[in-house]
Amino acid sequence: MNETNVDKDLLYLEKVQKLLINYQLDLNVRKLQQIFYKKSITDIYGVARKELQHSQFIAWLLNPYESHGFGSFALERLLLLVVKRGMQQNNNDSLFLAIKNDLLVTHLNTGNISVKTEYKVNGGRIDILVGNLQLGDKTTNIVIENKVDSKEHDCQTETYYKEINKNFPDDYNIFIFLTPKSSKVLDRLNASSCDCKAFIEISYQDILINILESMLKEEMASQTRVILEDYIHSITTPSNNSTHQSIMAMNKYTQELLIKFWESNEELIRSALEALAWNQEDDNANKVLELLNKRDRDYSKYLLSGEKKSVNKRNLALSIAKRISKMDNPVEVLNTIDNECGQQGINFLSKRKDNKRYDSIDIEVVDENGNREIKSFKINNQWTKDKIGKLIEVVKSNTDLEIDIDNDKR
């Protein structure tokens, strides 16, 4: 390793050390650690992402005569949520259209209500069945298919829709598909994501915001508050016993802390991802970096002096390298520019093995004896707006290059 590369590596090491110090001093990190290191009861029992346990909690919540003491509060909020999501998802099921207005204005009678989990029908078991509700003069049933750490299989929703309507043909039957999707994803749905489009999809985020957090604002028994707060902690923090779903919902306080954490430590996180991508060829790290770069993408165009055609961020470094390749001492100049970029914490020449993250340029080199050799250089093509600005500063400040770069506003 030559002296230039050693200096560059030392500068990078110093930069990472500073970022790590800032991370250690970040109060948001300590607050998040306090939240995420605390285990819920379900996590201690190893069932934090088991559908049955979540179904049992929701059944407890929806039963007006259970120990929470809130009566039909959760049930009434759920039905309003069903109307909201059903309208958003353009649910055209005749039963939903028939009862939509009744759900908004008709008194709910829960005198004969039954709430069951794992309700057996031909072809499977319904996760939650709320039966014998009285909506006006109509008996009403609510079917909830709950998905936590798995996807629908064997056309479950189609089966349950047919079986319930066959078993209760004269009743109002409401069908809910409960998932851990984010509100942003759910808001974009024009129809539920399950096989049977008569189901209305809601999320644990909906349950959190519209039911659980609303309940916490009310007076309640201390035991009920402990149960609700522990359940909220269970669905809003990562679980060690989950294979797919990490966080099922997000409360506002944790969300604000995570945003502040990202804003304070973005550069450190990106550096860690880049290290994984470079040294271990980590596909997941590469995918995350690609998503971050896509998020940061802008469509600025840059024009090099003497050129007629502008280029985007991705191709600017390659255009500079091509200009350098026509100079008398291109290899020396490329290394000089790379070293000066290194002092700014960026890479002009790429060290990556993934050929999607650099562009190659071949330069003919003539040694002292007149022997000709082709050398290949990897030119970095991964640039954020901030990094491309630093590259432009390096190039413009090097008077030997005589390259000027301007934003093309044409």
117 and 67 fall within a common domain = yes
113 and 196 fall within a common domain = yes
Burial class (CB in 10 A: 0-12, 13-18, 19+), 6: exposed
211-239: pLDDT as tens digits: 999 999 999 999 999 999 999 999 999 88
CA distances to 36, 192, 253 from 240, rounded to whole Å, are 11, 29, 22
Task: Evaluate if residue 6 carries a pLDDT over 60.
Answer: no
Question: Is 242 within a domain?
Answer: no
57 and 27 fall within a common domain = no
Q: What is the mean pLDDT of residues 348-359?
A: 75
Q: Tell me the residue range of the domain where 263 lies.
A: 3-36+251-295
Question: Is 244 within a domain?
Answer: no
Contact 301, 310 (CB under 8 A): yes
150-207: pLDDT as tens digits: 888 889 999 999 999 999 999 999 999 999 998 888 998 899 999 999 999 999 999 9
24-73: pLDDT as tens digits: 888 888 898 888 888 899 988 888 889 999 999 999 999 999 999 999 99
Residue finishing a domain among 236, 270, 286: 236
264 and 347 fall within a common domain = no
81 and 195 fall within a common domain = yes
Nearest residue to 353 (alpha-carbon basis) of 242, 247, 277: 277
Question: Is 268 within a domain?
Answer: yes
d(Cα 19, Cα 143) in Å, to the nearest integer?
Answer: 51
In 48-203, alpha helices (H): 51-62, 73-88, 94-105, 156-167, 183-187
Model confidence pTM above 0.75? no
CA distances to 39, 330, 361, 400 from 404, rounded to whole Å, are 57, 18, 21, 11
pLDDT band (50, 70, 90) for residue 134? very high
What's the structural domain count of the chain? 3
Write phi, then psi, for 186 (nearest 5 degrees).
-65, -35
Residue finishing a domain among 190, 206, 236: 236
Radius of gyration of the chain (CA): 30
